[in-house]
């Protein structure tokens, strides 16, 4: 059981939830605060004072008063009207993470919902009921209204959900899981819809995949360095200590460990006419290290956001306060930072691929890593594929957070665009794992051309892993299946694990 303590949930726990590591529930110590805030909202709903979202309309309609007898209808209508998303459905793992984040946010005891709302979300997670959430429709301010509305709809027996591999109407999914629809109380629809949980979940999913790609890129970069008989002098700790950047120091240390014991490296310490390697080899710690630091910075901010109360209004010290915690600017910035790191990891990896297939730069490797160039094209077009993926990621890395448009009759006149900023990370990570897959294929082929010299023991394990799934390239054959197999090894962490690389995503 994964138990969520509001305000204390860390990235490791969030990653376990995203990976589907077990049932999830809110720490029971949060219940008194949740129920106290619910009493404040209930009293306000029965009173005469206008309280936004409790006895008023929403957005531009906030000045419209709602009679006490209509508060339940108000909340239900809010959920149904906001189910306006479009596009493909979000990955179930992302939806589970989003629901867990909503539990954490409500668990702060500032949203004014009853404990029954917590139990209803927990029940969906426990019974495997996954709301169908369209990916498009949020601009990342006033919260992720449309995506969260699609989640809330299932709680009240509307919308759609997946259960046991079937897509069902919300009421049928609840019934099949042995659950009853939730009747919303005052403010509860608004509390479920307001918040940054969809954007944050998508950004976290992007962060986790980017981190795995970064780890794999350190391994493929070491393989490429040995394949072109590159120097390890740029990895010396004295160089990196003089700069002091923690990510750079960590990447250089990891690369040194990966290449330790390489006979290929030892073979050209003396008599090598080359003075310096190209930047894509020599500056790997500087580039990958900067990406490491950037991802950790984004992770730190997303961990804070994951523990935040982000709906509106909020209950604090017995008062109901209107504010703007739903504005997802911190998530948008984090998503843009992750995108920059993804693009740069791929950019330098692609240059290493280009280096290895070019006989004028690869230090005597055959053209395009084929033993019979001319008759065979080898990895010629695989390198072109890596270039196409790199270019696409460059375009996708352009910031989303700088784009804003007024919505809701100009009431919501500045928005974060965090949702699509975060959602694009999945595509970018797929592209990056494709680039690294090509690098893995080319680098392993290059290392095998150095026989009888052998690479390091750590990197030999990676070459052996690849060869369990992809044979060495002899005569030309379709390479798409090879790239797909190598990409799977990158994406599931196998490459980093077999190399013995332990690179924890830790933030302070």
Report the catalytic residues: 52
Helix (H) or strand (E) holding 88, with range, is: strand 86-89
Is the separation of the CB atoms in 288 and 221 below 8 Å?
yes
Torsion, CA 247, CA 251, CA 257, CA 263, rounded to 10: -160
CA distance 281 to 284: 6
CA dist 198 and 104 (Å) reads: 13
Q: Which residues of 132-159 are buried (b: 16+ CB within 10 A; e: fewer)?
A: bbbbebbbbbbbbbbbbbbbbbbbbbbb
In total, the chain counts a number of residues equal to: 508
How far apart, in whole angstroms, are the C-alpha atoms of residue 342 and residue 323? 34
Q: What angle do CA 487, 97, 149 make, to 5 degrees?
A: 120
User: Cα 365 from chain centroid?
Assistant: 37
Phi, psi of 182 (to 5 degrees): -90, 135
What value, to the nearest 5°, has the Cα angle with vertex 15 and ends 85 and 418? 35
Characterize the bridge pairing of strands 24-26 and 2-4.
parallel
- The label of the residue with tokens 């390489």 reads 262
């Amino acid at each position: 059981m994964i138990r969520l303590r509001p305000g204390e949930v860390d990235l490791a726990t969030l990653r376990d939830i995203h990976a589907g590591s077990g049932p999830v529930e809110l720490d029971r110590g949060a219940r008194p605060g949740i129920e106290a805030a619910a009493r404040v909202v209930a009293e306000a709903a029965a009173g005469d004072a206008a309280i936004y979202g409790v006895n008023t309309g929403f957005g531009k309609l906030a000045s419209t008063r709602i009679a006490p007898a209509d508060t339940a209808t108000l909340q239900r209508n809010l959920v149904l009207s906001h189910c306006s998303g479009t596009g493909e459905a979000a990955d179930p793992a992302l939806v589970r993470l989003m629901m867990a984040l909503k539990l954490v946010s409500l668990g702060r005891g500032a949203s004014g919902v009853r404990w029954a709302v917590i139990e209803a979300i927990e029940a969906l997670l426990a019974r495997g009921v996954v709301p169908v959430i369209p990916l498009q429709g949020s601009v990342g301010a006033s919260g992720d209204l449309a995506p969260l509305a699609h989640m809330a709809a299932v709680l009240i027996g509307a919308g759609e959900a997946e259960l046991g591999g079937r897509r069902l109407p919300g009421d049928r999914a609840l019934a099949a899981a042995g659950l009853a629809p939730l009747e919303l109380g005052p403010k509860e629809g608004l509390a479920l819809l307001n918040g940054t949980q969809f954007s944050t979940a998508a950004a976290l999913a992007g962060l986790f995949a980017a981190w795995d790609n970064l780890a794999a890129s350190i391994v493929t970069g070491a393989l490429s360095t040995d394949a072109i008989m590159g120097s390890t002098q740029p990895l010396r700790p004295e160089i990196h200590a003089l700069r002091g950047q923690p990510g750079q120091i960590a990447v250089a240390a990891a690369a040194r460990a990966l290449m330790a014991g390489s006979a290929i490296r030892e073979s050209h310490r003396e008599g090598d006419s080359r003075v310096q390697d190209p930047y894509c080899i020599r500056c790997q710690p500087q580039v990958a290290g900067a990406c490491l630091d950037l991802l950790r910075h984004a992770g730190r901010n997303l961990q804070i956001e994951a523990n935040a109360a982000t709906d509106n209004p909020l209950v604090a010290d017995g008062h109901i306060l209107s504010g703007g915690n739903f504005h997802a600017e911190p998530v948008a910035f984090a998503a843009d930072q992750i995108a920059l790191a993804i693009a740069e990891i791929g950019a330098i990896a692609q240059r290493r691929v280009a280096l290895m297939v070019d006989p004028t730069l690869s230090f005597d490797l055959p053209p395009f890593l084929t033993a019979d160039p001319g008759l065979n094209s080898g990895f010629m077009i695989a390198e072109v594929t890596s270039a196409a993926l790199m270019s696409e990621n460059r375009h996708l890395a352009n910031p989303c957070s700088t784009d804003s448009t007024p919505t809701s009759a100009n009431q919501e006149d500045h928005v974060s665009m965090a949702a699509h900023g975060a959602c694009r990370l999945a595509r970018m990570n797929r592209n990056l794992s494709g680039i690294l897959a090509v690098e893995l294929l080319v680098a392993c082929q290059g290392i095998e051309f150095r026989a009888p010299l052998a690479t390091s023991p750590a990197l030999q394990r990676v070459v052996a892993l690849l060869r369990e799934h992809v044979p060495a390239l002899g005569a030309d054959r379709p390479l798409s299946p090879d790239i797909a197999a190598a990409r799977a090894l990158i994406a599931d962490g196998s490459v980093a694990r077999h190399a013995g690389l332990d690179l924890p995503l830790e933030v302070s």
